[in-house]
Chains A and B, each alone.
Chain A
Amino acid sequence: MSVGHSMPHSGVYARVRGETRFGWDQQGYGDLHLACVRAELAPAHIKSIDPAPALALPGVVRVFTAADVPGEHNLGIIAVSRDQEFLARDTVRQRGQAVALVAAETRAQALAGARAVRVELDKLPGVFTPAEALASGAPLVHPDHADGNLLRENKIKRGEVDAALAASAVTVEAVYSTSPLEHAALEPEGGRAWWQGGKLVVQACTQNPHYDQADLARFLNVPQEKIRVIQAETGGGFGGKLDLSVQPFLALAAWHLVRSVCMRFTREESFLATAKRHPLRMHYISGADEQGRLTALKARILGDTGAFASYGLAVCMRAAVHATGPYHVPNLDVACRMAYTNNGFYGAMRGFGCPQVALAHEGQMDALAAKLGLDPLEMRKINALQAGMRTCTGQKLTAGVGLMQCLERIEPIYRAWREEAPAQDGLSGVGLGAMFYGIGNTGVSNPSTAQMEWGPDNTVTLFTGAADIGQGSDTVLKQIAAGRLGIEAEQIKLCRGDTARTTNAGATSASRQTYISGNAALAAADNLVMNLVEGAREMLGERHLEIELREGMLRASDGRAVEPGEVARHMADQGGAARGEGAFDPNFSPLDPETGQGRPYAAYAYAAQCAKVAVDPASGMTRVKEVAAAHDVGRAINPRAVLGQICGGVVMGVGMALMEEHRPGREGNLQQYHIPTAADAPAITPLIVEDPEPTGPFGAKGVGEPALIPTAPAVAAAVSQAVGKPLRHLPLSLERVMEALSSRGESHED
């Protein structure tokens, strides 16, 4: 059996040996090298671009500008909000936006050429905070956008909030905020493009090859079939490789020059030119009755989407529908707004707004519990979503709601940590975080497709468009298919992420591949079995024979057994093939635009985490000592991969909680922008909870993003306990902790 057994990630040994060929490793002999000319100030009007000084340099072949774009200038991952010019036409909207592209014989020549291009910019008035952006008379980031600088507002309305708050035994009003974050995937963006068989081939690191193909076709104004995108092995994404990065530049240059080209971003360029996590400001008013039951939530959330929409619509909607956290709240008035500014654009990052709102919903739970004199864990148990309850969008949960089990799993650890004697030379604290997370895209169709083939030589192949970016979907999809076919996962070959050979599986995002592409693979396996059985009946000459695939053989009820490979040979002889097709689209209903009511997701993951921290009262230095993390994944297809995701998510959460903060407009690099090192990783106790999801493949849901979401709130709660004051703004930098240490004992109300 393959499902439920730990398997090493497919390709992991090659990675460890350094043999894996990532985006930049695709470069080939004779490739031209590309480098962007990036605007140093924004917003600005482009007065002139003079390529002559660059063209005079040795090795420089061509300088491209927006005038060379044959098709659509505005690209973007969400069809209704395509607004990103990969080569700015008249206006630079954010610092670092590319205005020209240099192709040269070597990388050094391309970089020298990019420095030599003379760009004249006229600075324009801009907006750099959402509040500025939404003020009346503010300069418009996209003058043709219908709602000024407001990208979108999402509302959730249920019941009577004001009356419920007035009748509540306790209420808490507080403001929370989070900072822009960089994904800092180990692999900076890179790739190659060339011509082959009359097609332009682009091979780059990506989370979404089929989207890349569609947008590149739009960019070049050619039919999609003319473009083939192959996902290069991708060294981490975390949402940062969902938007196009190097691909449009590669495609444009290869298109015009009819030569192979390669390109990579430096780390600094990756900071400057790719998406960041949306910073949110969250104003919450929550109420509870005397028993601790939540009565109402009024929330006003304001986010910055930067100069382009990217995934702003998705983050806005997801933040709204997760604003309550994993609790039953009968009365709701939530409004989440996302504003354009001239900051570098914000986009998808592990959790799509949920890690941000989790800080607020968990902070409110602790504050309400403190007012009521309730234990924070009890407070969560009292309000935890359970089967039969309704979420904030009115969706009735029926099964696979494992939150209570998660809370119960961490409870003994939480109690033990709480009772530990305080550290002698420092302050310590213990905090909780819980979450729910809708699997897949919000309130929209987001299907996946897959095919399987049983070859005449008994090789079994799974075809999937799902990009494995290190999270392990290759392995999990093979395990799921193998589980249905009753063979070993190792027996399955994978053909993945190549638009010429696989079909669309949607993005590797929203923790959706195990659940959605897993179901598609399962359906493809089912269909393959059906076709093999048909083939076997035909081969055996008995139309109505009962045949099943068992232990690698097609076994008929009359005792005969044939090898599937033999059937495949038979089918091939007849001009066919032993193939199976599968597709899956989660059952959803769109959200009502006014009330936000609907069924945005078919399945939800749940989690609870508990963190223990130590704070040095002299310096404010904070260390997360231990984290216990219980995650309801429905069913762990590859348990060790689940544990890996949980541990990775926790460490990323430690970064979000304590140190990560990108400052728009400032240079970004890994010297300035701190991500956790091994020395910052706490001791982690990952706990797998399996409350089967009836619609999941073998009961499975996703864990990629849930792993991160509860950590920062748990750490914030623990630090708050250590310093004796609620901390509501991330990261909990030395300065913020010191400020709290210095003002301890002052009023907690804000």
Chain B
Amino acid sequence: MSRFVSPASLDEALEAQSQAGAQALAGGTDLMVTLRKARLSGGQMPKLLVDLSRLLELQRLNLEGGAPYLGAGLTFRFLESNPLVTERLPLLARAAASVGSVQVRSTATLGGNVANASPAADGLTALVCLDAVAEIASPRGARHCPLAELITAPYQTTLDLDEIILGFALSPPPDPAGQAFLKVGRRGEVAVARLNLAVALDRDMADPRVVLGSCFPTPRRLADVEGLLKGAAPEPALWQKAGELAASHFTDVCGWRSSADYKVPAITRCTAQALSRAWSGLEAAS
């Protein structure tokens, strides 16, 4: 049987989290599924569940002036509906709206999505596109860690047992930017992404970003594709070529598995579609 604490301050939370067998509990929408499996199979249960939902430090939001920042405790329901987020970070708002169901989104958090480190995490794909750097607290102080370094493999992070993610400092592409997020799932809601895709284009094509999720061990920016797009003339043929390059990067990394029969055409077409949408969004805005 696990004990449950719900600390009201970060210090208390960090202290609780430093105890042996402690497990941070954010929204719990992934954790509860894992714990149920462990319980039914006689596996190990955490001694202590540390609820993070009362920590104001995890609820920060700054998208107006200064360095953009999102607290780890913000729920997807908040992110999909907050006007600042939908206006400034539409790709994140779309990613948030594509997670689970309303019930799941009302409790699931951005920080929990990152810490769980599923290769298919929708929030993670969006954050990678926004060049997020995680701010992490522990009794030893704070550290900052880019997501690519934080997440090393499926469900594997460099988080220490006593660390808590506070939030994410973002570096979105320069304004105005066209953004798009696409998710392919097996049904309309409550579906794990078969693939997801976040794209951001600025007017000068100076800092194009293409992130593909649910295709690699961790969501990743496609450097080859971004290189192709950088400074290039935006046009449908370019989107198509970018899609083909994205797909060949996928087979280079993952080999031709059985899933490639689906994924290669899907990556090709969805990448082209997302780029086209991002660019038309940019044109419509100007």
Contacts and interface: CB of A to CB of B under 8 A. Distances in A.
A603 to B, nearest CB: 36
A421 interface: no
A734 B261 contact: no
Interface string A76-93: 000000000000000000
Contact of B42 (A112, A617, A679): A112
Contact of B270 (A618, A659, A676): A618
B254 interface: no
Interface in A714-750: 733-735, 738-739, 741-742
Interface in A648-697: 658-659, 671, 674, 676-680
Contacts of A676: 187-188
Interface stretch (A149-157, A394-402, A619-627): A619-627
A617 B269 CA distance: 8
B40 interface: yes
B273 interface: yes
Interface string B176-193: 000000101111111110
A491 interface: no
A244 B187 CA distance: 32
Interface string B244-278: 00000000000000000110011001101100000
A408 to B, nearest CB: 32
A115 interface: yes
A735 B187 contact: no
B266 A620 contact: yes
A619 B270 contact: yes
Given A266-B40, A671-B33, A735-B262, A618 B272 contact: yes
A621 B270 CA distance: 11
B261 A659 contact: no
Contacts of A733: 186
A111 interface: yes
A268 B188 CA distance: 23
A111 B190 CA distance: 29
B194 interface: yes
A740 to B, nearest CB: 11
A619 B265 CA distance: 8
B82 interface: no
B101 interface: yes
Given A618-B270, A619-B270, A671-B33, A738 B185 contact: no
A266 B187 CA distance: 24
A738 B262 contact: yes
Contacts of B184: 619-621, 734
A713 B209 CA distance: 42
B55 to A, nearest CB: 29
Nearest to B36: A266
Contact of A738 (B40, B41, B101, B265): B265
Interface in A404-423: none
A677 B270 contact: no
Contacts of A677: 101, 187-190
B189 A678 contact: yes
B19 to A, nearest CB: 24
A271 B204 CA distance: 54
A111 B40 contact: yes
Contacts of B261: 735, 738-739
Contact of B266 (A115, A658, A738): A738
Interface string A251-270: 00000000000000010100
B37 to A, nearest CB: 9
Contact of A680 (B33, B189, B262, B266): B189
Contacts of A742: 265
A590 to B, nearest CB: 43
B188 A618 contact: no
Interface string B192-222: 1011000000000000000000000000000
A735 B260 CA distance: 10
Contacts of A741: 265
Interface in B83-112: 101
A678 B189 CA distance: 8
Nearest to A108: B39
A620 B262 CA distance: 9
Contacts of B40: 111, 266, 268
A196 B40 CA distance: 33
A678 B103 CA distance: 13
Contacts of B266: 618-620, 734, 738
A671 B101 CA distance: 13
Contacts of A621: 184-185
A33 to B, nearest CB: 14
Interface string A27-54: 0000000000000000000000000000
Nearest to A739: B261
A679 B99 CA distance: 13
Nearest to B270: A618
A653 to B, nearest CB: 14
Given A266-B40, A738-B262, A659 B187 contact: yes
Contacts of B189: 677-680
Contacts of B33: 671
Nearest to A425: B273
Contacts of A618: 182, 266, 269-270, 272-273
Given A115-B42, A658-B187, 12 more contacts: A266-B40, A619-B184, A619-B266, A659-B186, A659-B187, A679-B101, A679-B188, A679-B189, A734-B266, A735-B261, A735-B262, A742-B265
14 contacts: A617-B269, A618-B272, A618-B273, A619-B270, A621-B185, A659-B187, A671-B192, A677-B190, A678-B189, A679-B187, A679-B190, A733-B186, A735-B262, A738-B262
